[in-house]
Structure 1
Amino acid sequence: MKDANTVVLPRLALTEVSVEDPWGEDHGTAPDPATDTLRWRVAAWLVPALVMGALCLVRAGEPARSRGEVAIWSMAGSPLMRWWVEVLGTSGLALRALAMLATTAAAALVGGLAARLFAPRVGLLAGVIFALLPTSTRYAQEAQPYALTVFAAVLATFFLVLAIDRPKFGRFAVYGAAVLVLGLCHGLALLLLAGHGWAVFAFRRGVAGRWLVVAFLGALPAAAAPVLLGEQPGAQIARGSDPSLAVLAATPRELFGVTALGVVLLGLALFSLPLRRSAAIYTAWAAVPPLVLLLVAQATPVWLPQFLLFTLPAWATLSAVALARARARWCVAALVAIALLGVPVQVARWEPQGPSAGHEQAREDR
């Protein structure tokens, strides 16, 4: 009797889906040795900043439009603003310069952070998507704290990533300083810490104690500021509204500038649902603060889409993670579509008495 033929099976390579990446999220975003060069990493920082800076300059010297910006302009003669006015003047461009610089720096950081956590291609897409959003340009051209808040949120997340990767005292100290700036820019933006905390406890429990101490110390000045300044508790919160179904349905339009654009970005983000740390940080950043704000709004009228502007970088990056899996021509087509969807909003914003002017003013008067 002859032995049965021996079947030799080839040695199987390690599966592409590891324990840390059970959904294969690295597929299409892993660094390519042919393209993952210094110039592409620089491009992930530089190109979004150039796009954002160019968009900021379009009609940046127009008169103030929103109620909040008019209030800021009325402070031009106050001691707080006098040094700024003496250096740059009182023109619209001068008073908006700080917000424009903050948003431009935020776009660069969005690209740089995504390039670090994913790949340069993802960083480039994330930064450009953020720059093309109509709300990014709008609040970059308004002398209000929202642009600084977005920048501080990206900066805090950037230093959080550095701190949990290499838990050094200096890195946590810089993270705490960024949290302090975030809270002073807008108190409700400290909801970002809920997302940061989820990411820390889920993936880096060993540094959770240090994170809690630093986050508490960084947020403390913002919590104490109303008391020190003699403001009534909840004065800022009263500007919001109850989260009715109509208000919640309007949130994508108010947050992203166009309802269709919000639906597209939210849909793309669904394809980046994470079980891996890099994407999980962004998911926590994008989703946890709105959920916490919604819970708080059940007890007090605090819901306002502007309070969630600091989540825009996360939504842009999650969209970029999904989009980066497509071919280059589809990525370009998607960016063009995002830009075209935002054009009508950008044009209407500067109309003397555009159809949305009354609605905009009424919403801000609440």
Structure 2
Amino acid sequence: MTASATAAVPIARRASDQTSDARTASIGRLRWLWPALLMLAIGGYGSWRPVLWRDELVSWNAAHRTGGELFDLLRHVDAVTGLYYLMMHYWVALFGDSLVVLRLPTVLAMSGAAAFVTLTGERLFGRRAGLAAGCLFALVPSISRYAQEMRGYAFVVLAVAAATWLLLRALEQSRPLRWAAYGCAVTAAGFFHMISLVFLAAHGIVVLGRWWQQRRHPLLVGFALSAGVALLPVVPLALLGHRQVGRQLNWLTAPTLQYVFDTFWHMLFGSAAVSLVVLVLAVLPLAWPAGRRFAVEIGLMAALPIVLVWLMSQGPTAYFLDRYLLFTVPAWCVLAGAGLTALRPRWLPPLGLVLVLLLGAYDQRAIRREFAHDGLDTKAAAAVIAKGYRPGDGIVALRGSQAAYLNLDSAMSYYLPHSVQLKDVLVERSAQAIGDIYPQLCADPVACIGDTRRVWVLTPGSSVDKPLDQYEKPQATALDRLFPKRTSTQVRGLVVTLFER
């Protein structure tokens, strides 16, 4: 071998080593991808199984309205959910409305949140802690539950998780673009769910703490400006939502401390066992001499919003509900991930993740059952109607003050074949016509029924002999008088009765 050839060997080896190092570094920068893919797999699995429940039916109904009808709806109710409805309106128009398609956006949102959980844990506590935090997040049963629901909570979790990571980046280097990105995440969180904006209190305290330690005034200025500008677009929505809050949240009552400890904490994680494991692991970083400041900061982001919403809910309007505070789970998982990776020997952290998987397995299976979200088999009820349908048939679904929230009419619209066209005989004006979730009922049921020969009546419960007991007296009287012949079929949680003249 010549001298020049001999010299070329180490040069080629160095080039090969540099290429390998670059490839390794590139893979290392994508560590957040693995928890995101894990979340995508877990969140997507079984999303085709649970029957649409009442809240999802509202989202489906809103998504199927025209743009004008949708904005008319938001003027009267659900304005604070409007961005999600609008997004789903276009999503359904493009991709259809199968169960998997309807729930795919929230699965993707939770996958994005898992990536930000990983990045946040890595920035505060190191690579292994970040990876553990992201995987823990993906294994929490409540995260899977709302990844598979056609509501906007997954997008709230994504926005707050992104805002937390973007804040940490801006605190490291206070640049306008970083603060602008943070402001966009804050605005998104407010648009998807107004209550989530309480996280700004914890973020503000973290900024004050960093400023007190470093005396860097751009931190205060950057946070105040970005948060202030971010909230401006949310103000009109907040004012409109405030006018609607009595109707939307009148079913919630002021929470007690006993409710927080006995019920709320377990529901927040979707599993009593998993919630206890996360809490124990989350406490560990607070005991570290080194890194305790970061643990306190992320602990504030996890706990302070819960405390603030609990205090707010002691007033005339309550907001304290596990799914409204689901956005705190990423911070809890960051703390727990740090605590898990601090355990020794080094094989304990992987074992801990396996333990969380096993402890949450029962609840993970439960949320994927067909009737996990609701006990009503509206799909089977629709099958009964479709089998016995004749053109000209009418339908009556229990509504009014007793059961409007069940959205049985929307369930039938979703599950019935397009060839089955039923007249809603007790409706005077449709929900779309009056810009509401629920329609305007007839003042004179007999006149509205007219000459309809057969009517399908849906009743919650199992009372086959008395299917009209839950209906308001004028409705029950009219149906009793006009339709003497009845054939009832019981399905899970519902009685389907064919009334004939």
With the length of structure 2 as denominator, give the TM-score of the two structures.
Answer: 0.61
Matched, 1:320 2:320: no
Relative to structure 1, is the Cα distance of residues 230 and 156 closer, same or farther in structure 2, using a 3 angstrom cutoff? closer
Which has the larger share of strand?
2
Give the corresponding residue for 1:224: 236
Distance 1:121 1:187, change over 3 A: same
Of stretches 241-250 and 313-322 in structure 1, the one that deviates more from structure 2 is 241-250
User: Segments of 4+ in structure 1 off by > 6 A?
Assistant: none
Q: Quick one: distance in 2 between partners of 1:119 and 1:230?
A: 42
Q: Distance in 2 between matches of 1:82 and 1:308?
A: 25
Mapped contact 2:142–2:270 kept (Cα < 8 A): yes
* TM alignment of 1:39-54, pairs within 5 A: 41-42=28-29, 44-54=31-41
1:201 CA displacement: 0.8
Question: Does 2:310 correspond to 1:294?
Answer: yes
> Is the contact made by 1:99 and 1:148 (CA closer than 8 Å) also made in structure 2?
yes
Residues 328 and 67 of structure 1, relative CA distance in 2, 3 Å threshold: farther
Quote the offset at 1:358 in angstroms: 5.3
Q: 2:253 aligns with which of 214, 226, 241?
A: 241
Structure 2 CA distance, aligned partners of 1:230 and 1:251? Answer: 25
Number of the residue aligned with 1:32: none
8 Å CA contact 1:132–1:339 kept in 2: the answer is yes
Tell me the equivalent position of 2:63.
76
What residue identity is the alignment partner of 2:45?
Answer: V
CA contact (8 A) 1:40 1:120 kept: no
Identical residues among aligned pairs (%): 34
Displacement after TM superposition at 1:141 (Å): 0.7
Pair 39,343 (structure 1): closer, same or farther in 2 beyond 3 Å = farther
Q: 1:184 aligns with which of 179, 191, 211?
A: 191
Deviations 1:61-83 (A, max 9, x none): 23544321121112231233442
Partner in structure 1 of residue 359 of structure 2: 341
Q: Could you report, residue by residue, the CA deviation over 1:160-193 in whole angstroms, capped at 9, with x for unpaired residues?
A: 1111111111111111111000000100000110
**Residue 212 (1) aligns with residue 224 (2):** yes
Name the CA distance, whole Å, in 2 between partners of 1:175 and 1:353. 39
The answer for the alignment partner of 1:155 in structure 2 is 162
Unaligned 5+ runs, structure 1:
1-36, 360-364
- Structure 2 unmatched ranges of 5 or more: 1-23, 68-85, 377-404, 407-501
Indicate the residue corresponding to 1:87 in structure 2.
94
- Rounded to whole Å, the distance in 1 between the matches of 2:25 and 2:54 is 45
Per-residue CA deviation, residues 241-262 of structure 1 (Å, 9 max, x unaligned), is: 3112442120122101111211
Letter in 2 for 1:216: G
Q: Letter of the aligned partner of 2:311 in structure 1?
A: L
**1:281 aligned partner:** 297
- The Cα shift of 1:234 comes to 5.2
Cα distance between partner residues in 2 of 1:107 and 1:232: 33
Shift of the 357–89 alpha-carbon distance from structure 1 to 2, 3 Å rule, reads closer
Offset at 1:44? 2.9
1:84-163 → structure 2 map (5 Å cutoff): 84-163=91-170
Q: What code does the residue aligned with 1:306 have?
A: R
The AA in structure 2 aligned to 1:349 is I
Q: Distance in 1 between matches of 2:323 and 2:89?
A: 27
Amino acid of the residue matched to residue 68 of structure 1? D
CA distance in 2, matches of 1:229, 1:256: 28
| Larger gyration radius, structure 1 or structure 2 | 2
Letter matched to residue 291 of structure 1:
V
* 8 A Cα contact 1:189 1:307, kept in partner: yes
In structure 2, how many angstroms separate the alpha carbons of the residues matched to 1:200 and 1:162? 12
Q: 1:217 to 1:50 in 2, by over 3 A?
A: same
Offset at 1:289? 0.6
- Distance, in Å, in 2 between the alignment partners of 1:230 and 1:270 is 37
Query: For the Cα contact (< 8 Å) 1:189–1:310, is it kept in 2?
Result: yes
**Structural mapping, 1:352-363, within 5 Å:** 352-353=370-371
Q: In 1, Cα distance between the equivalents of 2:237 and 2:326? A: 22
CA contact (8 A) 1:44 1:121 kept: no
Matched, 1:257 2:270: yes
For residues 319 and 230 of structure 1, do their structure 2 counterparts lie closer, same or farther at Cα, with a shift above 3 Å needed? closer
Q: For residues 26 and 357 of structure 2, what CA distance do their matches in structure 1 show?
A: 25
RMSD between aligned residues = 2.5
Q: Which deviates the most, 82-91 or 161-170?
A: 82-91
Report the count of equivalent residues. 325
Amino acid aligned to 1:151: L
Give, as a single letter, the amino acid of the residue that structure 1 aligns with 2:256: S
Counterparts of 1:28-67 in structure 2, within 5 Å, are: 38=25, 41-42=28-29, 44-67=31-54
The structural deviation recorded for 1:120 is 0.9
Could you say which structure has the greater relative contact order, defined with CA pairs below 8 angstroms and 6 or more residues apart?
A: 1
Deviation at 1:276, TM superposition (A): 4.0
TM-score by length of 1: 0.82
Q: Deviations over 1:207-229 (max 9, x none)?
A: 22331232122123333214357
